[in-house]
Structure 1
Amino acid sequence: MLIEQAPTGETRDTRLRRLAMRSMRRGIKEMDVILSRFAGERLAGLDAQMLDSYDALLRENDHDLYYWTSGVQDPPAHFAPVVGEIRAMLTAQGAAGSR
């Protein structure tokens, strides 16, 4: 699958803000929580390729995103790296919360 590039002329800062906003305004509350937390904690540390992948991921159906990020289903191969980052964040938070 071809992952679409960011709009021409968009600065990294503008892109990060746009992606953070799109992470918070989802169709289901669970994805609001998961993706807004991911955006707040890890978005700024992603390289350009991962940002492209995350940008494309946000265009997917929320129910699919929930199944992929929760591990119920494996994501498509082109989303596996970014979904892996989200899952790693969720796992780290779960481990921290169980202490």
Structure 2
Amino acid sequence: MTESLDVTRKKLRFRAWHRGTKEADLMMGRFADTYLQGFGADDLAVFSALLEEQDLDVYGWVIGRDPVPPEHRTRVMELLQAFDFTIEGLR
């Protein structure tokens, strides 16, 4: 039996806020707080796959320093790249 989407969201939110570095926690955690509730099963699976990647790799893709690998060229990555991580984004 598969877990409910709400349980999946809670697990992914926890993982997003516990990446290993404060910078990654803030980037992925704030993104999760903003978007996970609206994500369906497919987007949740895509976000879960991103959380399996190394923080520095994801950061490089998000800021455009490094090309995004084909398997991560998704709507979720586009949202992540467009997300406002600045202090102004908290207002």
Normalising by structure 2, report the TM-score. 0.85
CA deviation after TM superposition for structure 1 residue 21, in Å:
0.1
1:69 aligns with 2:62: yes
Aligned residue type for 1:47:
G
Stretches of 4+ aligned residues off by more than 4 angstroms: none
- Structure 2 residue aligned with 1:84, among 70, 78, 83? 78
CA deviation after TM superposition for structure 1 residue 44, in Å:
1.1
Aligned 8 A contact 1:30 1:66 in 2: no
In the TM superposition, 1:10-25 aligns within 5 A as 10-25=3-18
CA root-mean-square deviation: 1.9
Show the counterpart of 1:5.
Answer: none
Flag structure 2 segments of 5+ consecutive residues without an equivalent: none
Aligned 8 A contact 2:5 2:40 in 1: no
1:53 aligns with 2:52: no
Aligned 8 A contact 1:20 1:40 in 2: yes
Flag structure 1 segments of 5+ consecutive residues without an equivalent: 1-7
CA deviation after TM superposition for structure 1 residue 47, in Å:
2.2
Name the CA distance, whole Å, in 2 between partners of 1:65 and 1:42: 17
Normalising by structure 1, report the TM-score. 0.78
CA deviation after TM superposition for structure 1 residue 97, in Å:
2.9
Aligned 8 A contact 1:31 1:62 in 2: yes
Name the CA distance, whole Å, in 2 between partners of 1:21 and 1:77: 26
